Structure 1
Amino acid sequence: MKDAQTHTQAQTGAAGPAPLPYSAAELKRRRRDLLKALGDDAVLLLPAAPEVIRNRDVHHPYRQSSDLTWLTAFPEPEAVAVLAPKRKGGAFVLFCRPHDPEREIWDGYRYGVEGAVEHFGADEAFPIGELDERMPEILSNRRRVVYPLGLDDNVDRRVIGWLRAVRGLARKGISAPTELVSSDQYLHERRLIKSRSELKLMRRAAAISASAHRRLMQTAEPGCAEQRLEASFLSACAEQGARFQAYPPIVGSGAQACVLHYVENVGVLADGDLVLVDAGCELDGYASDITRTFPANGRFTDVQRRLYDLVLAAQLAAIEKVRPGNHWNQPHKAALKVLTQGLVDLGLIKPEGADLKQLIKDERYKPFFMHKTGHWLGMDVHDVGQYKQDGRWRRFEPGMVLTVEPGLYIAPDAEAPAEYRGIGIRIEDDVLVTEGDPEVLSAGVPKDPEAIEALMASARSG
C-alpha cells in the first residue's frame, strides 16, 4: 500500500483529491486495533457523508465523514468502508465509485476500485453499485452489525434490507445478525486521544487561525464593516493553505457580541465598540476554534477593561485546571468562581447574604454567562468523546484537546448598571492536555489587553 499523501498527478495522469496526510502505517494500526475490539462475530460499516446540494444543482464543496476519514482517509462520496474480521479475501473492504471518464471531465478525478486498494490499503474493493448484492454475504453468520445507527434514515433502511436478505437464507443454515450497535462507542473514544500526526495538524491549524486573527485585529477600525473583517480572516487562512472554516465565523461588534451565535456579520464597527471574533480554520479535516475580543478603535475603555480583565482571569484559572487526572468540569468550576466573584465586586450580582458557593449553586451568574467553558476539539469543532463516564465527569488524559472559553454577555436590556449594557466578551483558546503543563495551541494571537492594544497600534503607526 502506498501512503495516501504520495498520490500525485504523475501517478494518475490527473490531479486527484488530497486525502489527509496520515501515513499508511497509522491507518493500518487504527484498523487493526478496531478489528480486535470488534471481535470475530461483528461487521463494521461506515458510509461516506452525503453530498450537499444548496439549491437546485449547486453543490457545496464535499467534506468527508470524520469517522470514515479517521479510519481510511478515503475522500470521496458514495462510498462505504467495511471491516469484517476473519473475512475470506481480507477484512477491509471498500465500496466506491468506479472510474468514469465522462463524469471525471465534469467533476474531477476518481480513485476507483483500483485506487482504493493501491492507495488506501483496502484488501478488496468493489463498485458502490454492488453494495446491496454483496453485503448479505458479508453479514452472513455474524452476530452484530456496527454502524452509525440512527444517523441517516437511508442507511438504516438499507441495513434492515440486508438483514432481511440474510434471514431469507436460514434454510441454507446461514444465520443473520441479531444485534445493531452504534459505531460511536468504538470510534469516538479512540478519536478523542489525538496521535502525533493529528496534533501536528491541529497545531498548524491553530497557528494559521492565530495569524488570521492578528491580521484581522490590525484591519479593524471604526467604520469598518464586520464583513470586511470576516473577509480578512478567510483570506489569511486560505493564503496559508486552509481554504475551509471549521464553522461560520462570528464577527460581532457592539451589542451583537452578546448574541452567542451571531453569524450575519452585517454591522459596522463604531468608535467605542468592542468586537468579538470567534473564528477558526479547518486544515486537512482538523478544526481550530479561537475567540478574541478587542476595541474597534484600539483602546479599551475603563469599563470595558474591567469586564475584559475579569474574563481573562477566569480563562487563565480554567486553563490551569487542564491537567491529567483533573476531571472535565474542573476548568468550568474554576471559571465560575472567578466570574461570579467578579460580578459581585462589579455590582452586577447582589449577593443578598449568600456566599460565593451558594451564588454559584443558584446560578446567579447565568444571566451573564450562560454556556459551558469548553468542548472537545478535533476533526469536528464540537468533537466526539463522552464528557461523563459511569455518571461522573471523565478525567483528562494526555492527547485530549479542548477549548477553554469563558465569557460575559451584558445584554442591552440586562438588569445591570447602564455603563455595562451592550458589552459582550469571550476569550477562547485551544488547549492540549499533556503530561505536565497544558499546551495552548492558539497562543500565537494575543489576549493580554496591553498586547492587543500594541498590536493594533502598530498597524496604525505603520
Structure 2
Amino acid sequence: MKYLPVNEQLFTNNRKNFVSRIKPNSIAIFHSNDEYPRNGDQNFIFKQNPDFYYLTGVDQEQSILVLYPDCPNQRYKEVLFLRQTNDHIAVWEGHKYTKEEARKASGIQNIYWLQEYDTVLHTVINYSDNIYINTNENDRYAHTVPYRDLRMLETLRQKYPLHHYERSALILRDLRVVKSEIEVELTQKACDITRDAFIRVLKFVQPGVAEYEIEAEITHEFLKQRATGHAYNPIIASGKNAIVLHYIDNNQVCGDGDVILFDWAAEYANYNADMSRSIPVNGRFTKRQRQVYDAVLRVFRAASKMIVAGTVWNEYHDEVGKIMAGELIDLGLLSKHDVDKQDPKSPLYKKYFMHGTSHHLGLDVHDFASRYKPFEVGNILTCEPGIYIPEEGLGIRLENNILITKDGNYDLMAHIPIEAEEIEELMNSK
C-alpha cells in the first residue's frame, strides 16, 4: 500500500460495534473481494471489499474474517485468515502480510493461514445458532456477477442447512455512515491531496492543453502524496463535454473561451474525497459563464446550510430543487409561469439540473447508507449542484464534502478555492 499505516484502533472499534449488534451465539463471516481477470494472464489491480477493510484494515486478496464473540473456544472468537506466502509468490507478486504485520494492522491476535479455514470453521460453526453473511446491499448496485460472499453463502447453505442466516449489511449500513475521528482524518487527508492537485491544475491549464494532460497532472500529484490514486474515474470535461454527466474520455483539446468541468478527487487509505469545480480555460469567465457559475454557487451555499443532523433526504432535495428553479428563472432558462404550473412529480428544473444534490461519502464514493434515515452527526455528504445548458455548450458543477458535527456542519474542502475571483486570480498568477 502507498498510504501510511492506519491506527488499528479504528478497526478494533469497528468490530466491537459490529458484534455488539448481532444476535446472541452468532458467527459472522466476511470475505475479501474477488480478483478479476483483465485478460489472458493478468488481473485488474486488486481493490478491497470496503466492509472487509472497515472491520480489519487488511488490504490484501484471499482473506477471511470470522467473528464469533460467544464462541466456547477462546481462540476463535475473532480470527483472520490470510494467504500464506512462499518463495514463488514473493518473486512474482511481492510482499504479503506476515502474521505479525496482520496483527499490527488489524488488532486481531489470532491469525491463521487460509488453508486452515475450513477446519477451524467446522470446529466451531455447529455451536452457533446464526450465521451472518455479508452481501452488497447498496441500493445503487445491481447484482449481475456472483461475488465471493454470495458464492460462499451457497456453500455454507449446503453444509449447514439448518442454521439461521442473517444479513450483516443491515448493521453495517448504520455503522459505516457515522464516521469516527480517525475516518474523518483519513477523509480530510484525501481532501487535502485533492486541493493540492487542484492548485497545480489551475496553474497548468491554458488554451490548447488536452484533457488527458490535465489528468496526468492530477495523477502525478495524487501519487506523489501517497494517495492510492483516483477515487473514481476522473471527469475532465471541457466545453460541450461538460453536459455529459459521466464524461470520462478526457481526450479533447481545451479551447479558448470554454469552461472545463472537473469532477475528480483522491482516495487515501481507501477513504474517498469527491470534488467538482468549473474553471475557464483562458483564466477569465465570460459574463454569461459567470452568471451561471454564480447561480450554481448560490445554490451550493444554500444547500450546504441544510446539511445538518435531522435533515430528511427527500425534503432536502425538494427544497434545493425550489432554490435551483428560482436561479434558472433568473438566468432566463425557465419561466415563472411554467414553473408555477409544473407537475410536482416532474419539476422543470430537472431539464438543467438532472442529478441529486448530495450523497454519503466514505469507503465508497457513493457510500453505503439509508436514503430514508435523517442525516446524523458523523455523516459526511457531498454537496454538488450543477447547471447544464446543452444549447450553450456549458456545464457548471461545484462540489465539496460536508461533515455533520453536533455544532453544525464543517466543510472538509473549505480550503479549496471555489469563488470565481479566486480561481481567476490563481490561474493568472502563473
TM-score (norm 1): 0.85
Is 1:440 the equivalent of 2:411? yes
Is 1:165 the equivalent of 2:159? yes
SS of corresponding position for 1:219: coil
Deviation at 1:347, TM superposition (A): 2.1
Is 1:384 the equivalent of 2:368? yes
Alpha carbons of 1:160 and 1:141: their partners in 2 closer, same or farther (altered >3 Å)? Answer: farther
Alpha carbons of 1:439 and 1:154: their partners in 2 closer, same or farther (altered >3 Å)? Answer: closer
Asked whether the 8 Å contact 2:8–2:104 carries over to 1, the reply is: no
Is 1:365 the equivalent of 2:349? yes
Q: How does 1:278-427 map to 2 (within 5 A)?
A: 278-352=263-337, 354-355=339-340, 358=342, 361-388=345-372, 394-412=373-391, 421-427=392-398
Of 45, 66, 69, which aligns to 2:29? Answer: 45
In structure 1, how many angstroms separate the alpha carbons of the residues matched to 2:47 and 2:307? 31
Question: Residue in 2 aligned with 1:173?
Answer: none
Amino acid in structure 2 at the alignment position of 1:156: L
Question: Residue in 2 aligned with 1:240?
Answer: 225
Deviation at 1:69, TM superposition (A): 1.0
Q: Deviations over 1:108-147 (max 9, x none)?
A: 1222456545653334333222333443333214232212
Alpha carbons of 1:423 and 1:117: their partners in 2 closer, same or farther (altered >3 Å)? Answer: closer
TM-score (norm 2): 0.91
SS of corresponding position for 2:349: coil
In structure 1, how many angstroms separate the alpha carbons of the residues matched to 2:371 and 2:126? 36
SS of corresponding position for 1:212: helix
Q: CA RMSD in A?
A: 2.2
Amino acid in structure 2 at the alignment position of 1:403: T
Asked whether the 8 Å contact 1:311–1:427 carries over to 2, the reply is: yes
Alpha carbons of 1:367 and 1:63: their partners in 2 closer, same or farther (altered >3 Å)? Answer: same
Question: Residue in 1 aligned with 2:424?
Answer: 453
Question: Residue in 2 aligned with 1:4?
Answer: none
Is 1:102 the equivalent of 2:81? no
Is 1:185 the equivalent of 2:170? yes
Q: Deviations over 1:64-122 (max 9, x none)?
A: 11111111111211011010122112311112111312211221122245654565333
Question: Residue in 2 aligned with 1:209?
Answer: 194
With a CA cutoff of 8 Å and minimum separation of 6, indicate the structure with the bigger relative contact order.
Answer: 2
Alpha carbons of 1:19 and 1:456: their partners in 2 closer, same or farther (altered >3 Å)? Answer: closer
SS of corresponding position for 1:197: helix
In structure 1, how many angstroms separate the alpha carbons of the residues matched to 2:327 and 2:151? 54
Asked whether the 8 Å contact 1:317–1:334 carries over to 2, the reply is: no
Alpha carbons of 1:61 and 1:354: their partners in 2 closer, same or farther (altered >3 Å)? Answer: closer
Is 1:138 the equivalent of 2:124? yes
Q: Which moved more, 1:131-140 or 1:18-27?
A: 18-27
Q: Deviations over 1:390-432 (max 9, x none)?
A: xxxx2222211010000011114xxxxxxxx211110011111
Q: Deviations over 1:153-205 (max 9, x none)?
A: 553343333333345xxxxxxxx413x22221122311111111111111111
Asked whether the 8 Å contact 2:3–2:226 carries over to 1, the reply is: no
Percent identity of the aligned residues? 32
Unaligned runs of 5+ in 2: 137-142
Amino acid in structure 1 at the alignment position of 2:282: N
Asked whether the 8 Å contact 1:404–1:431 carries over to 2, the reply is: yes
In structure 2, how many angstroms separate the alpha carbons of the residues matched to 1:309 and 1:334? 19
In structure 2, how many angstroms separate the alpha carbons of the residues matched to 1:67 and 1:352? 49
Deviation at 1:435, TM superposition (A): 1.9
In structure 2, how many angstroms separate the alpha carbons of the residues matched to 1:456 and 1:330? 38
